[in-house]
Amino acid sequence: MRSQDEAQFVSLLKENQNIIHKICKLYTTDQDSHNDLFQEITIQLWKAYPNFRGDSKFTTWAYRVGLNTAITLFRKKKKTIDTIEFDNTFHKVKEDEYNFEEEEQLKLLYHAVNELNDIEKALVFLYLEDKDYTEIAETLGISEVNARVKMNRVKGKLKKIVNP
């Protein structure tokens, strides 16, 4: 029988599942790994759910559990190749909006992000999600100043990969 907690958790997760999908997109390069990581994050969220008191937002909580799972607990089944699949389902661009140059640049950018290490990817992810440096530092367990310094280095690294 499904408990009330289970039902509540499933509903919250269903509503906020895009957070997990976005983490999976950044840390995996194929659909199977994406699904595996999605499942592992869901399991970890459920295991940690008794500690979720509702005084923080479910999304804030999910960011932390999701990233920690991707960085620490998830076992990649196989070594992924160094090219990111430019996911067309993720880029449903209307024909009149189609811009070849822009798409090429985005392809390069996603490829560049894929070249980053796990921690740099976490920084990029939190930045893309509009998190401030206080939250980025707190999530990763580093100081705010060092989070800023590292982010600038990552930006430089991306620039270098995109414009060699």
Partner 1 sequence: MDELEILKQDWKKNENSFKQVGEKEIYNMIHKSSTSVVKWILIISILEFVILNGISFLISDKEIENFERLHPYIGIIEKVNYVVILGFIYLFYKNYKSICILSSSKKLIKDILQTRKTVNYYIYWNLIIGCFTGAIAFFDGFTESHQIENNKEIALTQIESILIFCIGFALVFAFIYGFYKLLYGFLMRRLQKNYNELSKIDF
State the nearest-atom distance from the C-beta of 30 to partner 1, in Å: 14
Residue closer to partner 1, measured from CB, 79 or 83? 79
State the nearest-atom distance from the C-beta of 58 to partner 1, in Å: 13
| Amino acid, single-letter form, for residue 107 | K
Looking at residues 77 to 136 of the shown chain, list those that interact with partner 1 (rule: CB under 8 A): 89-92, 105-106, 109-110, 112-113, 117-120, 122, 124, 127-128
Residue closer to partner 1, measured from CB, 57 or 159? 159
State the nearest-atom distance from the C-beta of 16 to partner 1, in Å: 11
* Selection from 104, 123, 115 nearest residue 161 by Cα: 115
> Interface residues with partner 1 (CB under 8 A)?
2, 6, 9-11, 13-14, 17-18, 21-22, 25, 36, 38-40, 42-44, 46-48, 51, 61, 64-65, 67-69, 71-76, 89-92, 105-106, 109-110, 112-113, 117-120, 122, 124, 127-128, 138-143, 146-147, 149-150, 155, 158-159, 162
